[in-house]
Amino acid sequence: MKRIVTATVNNRAGVLNRITGLFTKRQFNIESITVGHSEVPGISRMTFVVQVDDDNKIEQLIKQLNKQIDVLKVNDITSQSYVARELVLIKVLANAQTRSEINGILDPFRASVIDVSKESLVVQVTGESEKVEALIDLLSPYGIKELARTGLTAFTRGTKQKAVTDIKHYTLIK
In the Cβ-directed half-sphere of 45, how many Cα atoms lie within 13 Å? 17
Predicted confidence band of residue 158 (pLDDT cuts 50, 70, 90): confident
Q: Domain boundary at 49, 80, 111, which?
A: 80
- The answer on 28 and 13 residing in a single domain is yes
pLDDT for 11 beyond 80: yes
CATH of the domain at 64: 3.30.70.260
- The pLDDT tens digits for 52-106 are 988 899 999 999 999 999 999 999 999 999 999 999 999 999 998 999 999 999 9
C-alpha to C-alpha distance for 6 and 156, rounded to whole angstroms: 9
Predicted confidence band of residue 162 (pLDDT cuts 50, 70, 90): low
- The answer on 56 and 8 residing in a single domain is yes
In terms of pTM, does the model score above 0.85?
no
Please report the pLDDT score of residue 159 as a whole number. Answer: 73
Cα 156 to its chain centre, rounded Å, is: 14
- The pLDDT tens digits for 126-146 are 999 899 999 999 999 999 999
Say which residue, 99 or 174, is predicted with more confidence. 99
Please report the pLDDT score of residue 163 as a whole number. Answer: 52
DSSP β-bridge partners for residue 89: 124, 148
**Domain residues for 34?**
2-80
Find all residues with CB under 8 Å of 35, minimum gap 6, and list them.
16, 44, 45, 46, 47
What phi and psi, each to the nearest 5 degrees, are found at residue 166?
A: -85, -10
- The pLDDT tens digits for 101-124 are 999 999 999 999 999 999 999 999
- The answer on 69 and 53 residing in a single domain is yes
Sign of CA dihedral 52, 54, 56, 62: positive
